[in-house]
Amino acid sequence: MPVMAAFLFASLTALLVAAAVTTAANLATTVYLHRCLSHRALVLRAPLRFAFRVLTWVTTGIRPRQWMAVHRKHHAFTDVDGDPHSPVLLGWRTVQLHNVGLYRRALRDPELVRRYARDLPADSWDRLLFDHALVGLGAGVTLLVVVFGWVIGLLAAGIHTVMYLQGNAAVNALGHHFGRRPYENSATNLQWLALLTMGEGLHNNHHAAPTSAKLAFHAGELDPAWPLVRLLAGLRLVEFRHPGGVFRPPAARRAHPGLPVASQAIDRG
């Protein structure tokens, strides 16, 4: 019994720690990589921007220039030839299971970052720290081990890796296949996925208005990152591209929100 109790305690603690780390990683992804860098929906003050750079580095190992380049190309070629991770072209299961590989394949093109991320040149901090993905991940895992011990720290790191990668893969895979389309584009809204990814699951809304800092537009929708963004704006750490951070798509671009996906037109132009 003592062994079983210790195992259950370690497992539950690791799960809770992993959930907290994944939430932090998802916040860094949606606020910094996505809304700030990729679409310029908001501007972060220098201290907060640096904090998000560190958080991204130790929780994801992502190089921001690469992420934003792949994402911007996805918007330029959404679900048509050229899209780096389209479930329409590749199948949603392929994107869900091989999302990281699809990013790596896209980044084999030496022109991708130059073309789609030329407004984010590497600086001295990138060369010293942030371009070294494994160093950042190693620092993050080391911190978990120092705080929680070897067993819980390593277990939490493993659980976090699965949760983060599969959650973000689901945005690209499920978020272009299942769900509702209140606007005429091929992305979909999945509220349950938005809750897990700090708003990213409201993907149809995002494709309709990429420069909106808020992703929830309709009654019953919740963008979990938005209260934090509003708080940071109130502290004058964030500035919005659009007044109040919200840019609603014109009504003419709306589809029929009550109809299932199969009944709605898809604009792939």
Which sequence spans correspond to the domains of the chain?
10-263
CA-closest candidate to residue 9, choices 140, 1, 164, 143: 1
- How many CB atoms are located within 10 Å of the residue 90 CB? 16
Indicate if the pLDDT at residue 199 is higher than 50.
Answer: yes
pLDDT at position 259? 36
Mean pLDDT of 2-30: 92
Helices (H) and strands (E) counted in the chain, each on its own, are 12, 2
Mean pLDDT of 173-179: 97
pTM of the entire predicted model = 0.90
pLDDT at position 245? 86
What distance in Å separates the CA atoms of residue 148 and residue 167, rounded to the nearest whole number?
24
Q: Write out pLDDT tens, residues 92-101.
A: 999 999 999 9
Q: Write out pLDDT tens, residues 177-196.
A: 999 999 999 999 999 999 99
What tokens appear for 62 in the block? 């992502």
What tokens appear for 115 in the block? 């073309």
Place 268 in a pLDDT band, splitting at 50, 70 and 90: very low
Q: Write out pLDDT tens, residues 147-158.
A: 999 999 999 999
Indicate if the pLDDT at residue 175 is higher than 70.
Answer: yes
Mean pLDDT of 210-230: 96
CA-closest candidate to residue 39, choices 6, 15, 5, 74: 74
Place of tokens 């060369």: 127
The CA–CA distances, whole Å, from 136 to 48, 53, 56, 101 equal 18, 11, 9, 20
What distance in Å separates the CA atoms of residue 132 and residue 142, rounded to the nearest whole number?
16
